[in-house]
């Protein structure tokens, strides 16, 4: 079993992904983005967001380096683009515009920005890509895959029962959570853009 599974790598990867994805921190954002949905649609959006995040992270864990090299896209470029996208969503939450379309039972917010780049953002993608490289061959893929499954199941559980939190907060509390989520998202977005810019400058200086 040891040759196919690395416990230390599993624990390190799971903790890293948990901190990056931050399921408790996702709850106010999730409630804000799904404010206009009913309970059934909200659960469906949470299911889809979890699946999208899992699929994107798994895809980059398997083929991330090849994809980025083929498209001539750097990690800092991903960070800047993700940050700009999050900033637009954050401004919408802060202003209470609700311009994010929620048609098709919330499928749009489930994919963007919940599934990506909030959950499957540059940080989670790069973390899994690096984790796979820590162990050669099958061991790395199985270990990182197991860690990803565990974290995504926990994320799904948090989103699945977000409706209970909404029932406790009621309408006024949900609106407040939306504003707080917008403020937090804007800070995250600015940090992502800054990290991307500094990363790009570091890459240029290293050449």
Residue-range definition of the domain harbouring residue 134: 7-21+36-206
* pLDDT at res. 107: 54
- CA angle 177/183/188 to nearest 5° reads 120
pLDDT value at residue 167: 74
CA-closest candidate to residue 51, choices 180, 160, 179, 181 = 160
3-state secondary structure of 130: helix
- Output the pLDDT for position 138: 85
Q: Domains in the chain: how many in total?
A: 1
For residue 100, the model assigns a pLDDT of 44
- Domain annotation covers residue 30: no
Specify the pLDDT at position 101.
Answer: 41
CA gap 21, 36 in Å, rounded: 24
Q: Which residues of the chain fall short of a pLDDT of 70?
A: 1-3, 93, 96-107, 166, 169, 171, 174, 177-178, 181
Please give the Cα distance from 9 to 6 (Å, whole number): 5
Contact 147, 183 (CB under 8 A): no
28: in domain: no
Query: Does residue 161 belong to any structural domain of this protein?
Result: yes
In a domain, 26, yes or no: no
- Which of 178, 179, 169, 184 minimizes the C-alpha distance to 33? 178
**CA–CA gap between residue 175 and residue 86 (Å, rounded):** 19
- With respect to residue 66, please indicate whether it lies within any of the assigned structural domains: yes
Q: Measured between alpha carbons, how far apart are the two ends of the chain, in Å?
A: 42
Whether 122 maps to a domain, the answer reads: yes
Task: Show the tokens assigned to 114.
Answer: 């919940």
In a domain, 102, yes or no: yes
CA 122 to chain centroid: 8
CA distance 133 to 152: 21
Residue 42, in any domain of the structure: yes
3-state secondary structure of 120: coil
Residue 50 has a pLDDT of: 94
Q: Which of 157, 152, 132, 127 is nearest to 142 (CA)?
A: 132
pLDDT on residue 171: 67
**Contact predicate 82/125, CB 8 Å:** no
């Amino acid at each position: 079993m040891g040759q196919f599974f690395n416990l230390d790598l599993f624990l390190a990867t799971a903790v890293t992904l948990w901190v990056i994805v931050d399921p408790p921190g996702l709850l106010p954002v999730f409630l804000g983005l799904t404010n206009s949905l009913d309970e059934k649609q909200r659960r469906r959006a949470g299911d889809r967001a979890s699946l999208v995040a899992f699929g994107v992270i798994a895809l980059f864990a398997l083929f991330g380096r090849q994809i980025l090299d083929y498209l001539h896209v750097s990690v800092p470029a991903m960070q800047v683009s993700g940050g700009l996208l999050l900033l637009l969503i954050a401004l919408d939450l802060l202003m209470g515009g609700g311009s994010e379309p929620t048609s098709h039972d919330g499928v749009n917010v489930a994919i963007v920005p919940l599934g990506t780049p909030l959950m499957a953002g540059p940080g989670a993608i790069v973390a899994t890509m690096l984790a796979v490289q820590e162990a050669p061959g099958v061991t790395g893929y199985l270990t990182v895959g197991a860690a990803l499954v565990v974290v995504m199941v926990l994320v799904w559980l948090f989103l699945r029962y977000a409706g209970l939190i909404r029932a406790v907060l009621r309408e006024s509390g949900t609106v407040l959570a939306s504003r707080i989520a917008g403020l937090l998202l804007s800070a995250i977005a600015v940090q992502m853009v800054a990290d991307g810019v500094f990363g790009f400058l570091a890459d240029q200086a290293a050449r």
